[in-house]
Amino acid sequence: MVAGLEVIVLTIRKAQMAVFERIAGERFAKRLVPHIQRMWSAQCAGLTVEQIAARASDAVTRAVKWGLESELDVARFVDLTFVFGSDFDQSQKCGWAGEILRRASIPASERMAMLWNRARAALRDPNQTVELPRSSRSSGAG
């Protein structure tokens, strides 16, 4: 007891923490939906809000597996899935993405900056028809 108060210690198990993290990721993905619809309207054509949210949620999960933590970095990763495809980080077409993301010795935010810059370079290819937002802040959730 501390000064007449009983101290209660709660233990959060790994399974419980995983549920909290999954719910937080799903909520973040839902917050990204308006941004995605605004920035990537052509890629969202024909998709329902639920489909966009599900695709964003899957991308959030993969971003976290790559070690991305900040909302900006995760939002950028989600953006890239709408530009280059759901599996851009694992596809041969975007082999550069996996190469960058696998560099675990480089901090996550730096890897994301490298990935973002490389994606911009890829989109300068005259065969590409999509542009990434110019401002790093324009990829946020709001």
Residue 86's identity, in one-letter code, is S
pLDDT band of 141, cuts 50, 70, 90? very low
Let me know if residue 18 belongs to a domain. yes
Beta bridge partners of 37: none
The answer to the question of residue 51 being in a domain is yes
DSSP sequence for 17-64: HHHHHHHHHHHHHHHHHHHHHHH-HHHHTT--HHHHHHHHHHHHHHHH
- pLDDT at residue 140 in the model: 44
Q: Is residue 24 part of a domain?
A: yes
Q: Is residue 2 part of a domain?
A: no
pTM given for the model:
0.77
The answer to the question of residue 87 being in a domain is yes
The answer to whether residue 4 sits within a structural domain is no
Asked if the model's pLDDT at residue 11 lies above 90, the reply is no
Q: Which domain holds residue 103?
A: 14-139
Predicted pLDDT of residue 26: 82
Summarised one tens digit per residue, pLDDT across range 21-57 is 778 778 888 999 999 999 999 999 999 999 999 999 9
Provide the pLDDT for residue 23: 80
- The 10s digit of each residue's pLDDT in 54-106 is 999 999 999 999 999 999 999 999 999 999 999 999 998 899 999 999 999 99
Give the pLDDT confidence score for residue 104 in this predicted structure: 92
pLDDT at 8 > cutoff 90: no
* Within a domain: 6: no
What are the backbone dihedrals phi and psi of residue 25, each rounded to the nearest 5 degrees, phi first? -65, -40
Q: Please indicate, yes or no, if residue 1 is contained in any of the structural domains.
A: no
Number of domains in the chain: 1
